[in-house]
Amino acid sequence: MHARTDRSHRRAFTLIELLVVIAIIAILLGLLVPAVQKVREAAARISCGNNVHQLLVATHNYASTNADQLPPSTMVSPVTGSLNFALFPYVEQDNLYTQGVAAGYGWPQNGLPLKGFLCPSDPTGNGGITASGWAASNYQHNYALFSTPNVTWNAAAFTISNIPDGTSNTVGFAEQYASCGGNYSLRDYPSSYYWPYASIFNVYGALYGSSYSVIQVQPTQANCNWWASNTPHPGGMVVGMMDGSVRTVSPSVSPNTWWAACQPADGNTLGADW
């Protein structure tokens, strides 16, 4: 005769035991979520660094095929367009560039997001499309370098080989939110049309009530400055130097050091906080 299992004597979990298990799971999740967030942020920062590096490579390639000239903050030939549009043939966007030339203006696909111009950490990103309907760029160029300040937006004062302070000491690109207050960083908007809508940063902050425009680390959309550089990365600003290198600038960098790094011909050395 087979022995029967007495199911009535099986011990069930008590309420206290269930609560303990739930508490342990909650603790483990509490430890896991920040770790996952850190991994995601590290991946996003690497992505931004790669994007900035590609813009630097494109800038050097542009100069190589244009008599050492830097791409202008606003291009006027063969059509009017942004600096980003001028770089399209050098970031594998030849078709968009050709479309713009054929159309007679440099924004034929202004509502088409391009991954290479977008930071995955931007809290205002909205899939790369701003409220204006135009595609954003999270990487802005340095007004002091790619134009001739107070003279023209259409030509840089220096060629890539004669930047007075040296390529390793001069910032070419930095980060910016897609939407900053009521303004936008638009990938295809020419700088001279209306500056708050262009993907450009300007350290001539004295025009706006401060001595220098400093970097902003994780500002709110309402509190970010459209003429400055703002980054969603807690560790600091991803910037591209004109020698092709990419670095992270500390949130504690001084205004003087940031100014010196962005000015291509001020003759000042970068501070110890660089």
**3-state secondary structure string across 232-251:** CCCCCEEEEECCCCEEEECC
pLDDT over 90, % of the chain: 68
pTM assigned to the model: 0.85
Instruction: Check if the beta carbon of residue 136 is closer than 8 Å to that of residue 177.
Output: no
Residue 45 burial (C-beta neighbours within 10 Å; 0-12, 13-18, 19+) = buried
The pLDDT-based confidence of 206 (bands split at 50, 70, 90) is very low
Q: Three-class SS of residue 148?
A: strand
Instruction: Check if the beta carbon of residue 174 is closer than 8 Å to that of residue 233.
Output: no
The pLDDT-based confidence of 210 (bands split at 50, 70, 90) is low
Q: What is the model's pLDDT at position 211?
A: 52
Which is nearest to 141 in space by CA: 214, 181, 195?
Answer: 195
pLDDT at 82 over 90: yes
Q: What is the model's pLDDT at position 83?
A: 97
Per-residue pLDDT reduced to its tens digit, 107-160: 999 999 999 999 999 999 999 999 999 999 999 999 999 999 888 899 999 999
Which is nearest to 146 in space by CA: 246, 258, 69, 249?
Answer: 69
- Backbone φ and ψ for 8, nearest 5 degrees, come out as -70, -15
244-250: long-range contacts (C-beta < 8 A, 24 or more apart)? 244/53, 244/56, 244/57, 244/60, 244/167, 245/168, 246/49, 246/52, 246/53, 246/56, 248/45, 249/215, 249/274
Residue 170 burial (C-beta neighbours within 10 Å; 0-12, 13-18, 19+) = buried
Q: How far apart are the first and last CA of the chain?
A: 85
Q: How far apart are CA 204 and CA 266, in angstroms?
A: 13
Bridge partners, residue 179, by sequence: 184
pLDDT over 70, % of the chain: 89
pLDDT at 205 over 70: no
Q: What is the model's pLDDT at position 21?
A: 80
Higher-confidence position of 205 and 237: 237
The pLDDT-based confidence of 182 (bands split at 50, 70, 90) is confident
Domain locations along the chain: 16-262
- Lowest-confidence segment of 17-21, 198-202, 228-232 by average pLDDT: 17-21
pLDDT at 90 over 80: yes
Q: What is the model's pLDDT at position 208?
A: 46
Q: How far apart are CA 230 and CA 174, in angstroms?
A: 8
Q: Three-class SS of residue 162?
A: coil
Q: How far apart are CA 60 and CA 79, in angstroms?
A: 21
pLDDT at 7 over 60: no
pLDDT at 213 over 80: no
Instruction: Check if the beta carbon of residue 244 is closer than 8 Å to that of residue 53.
Output: yes
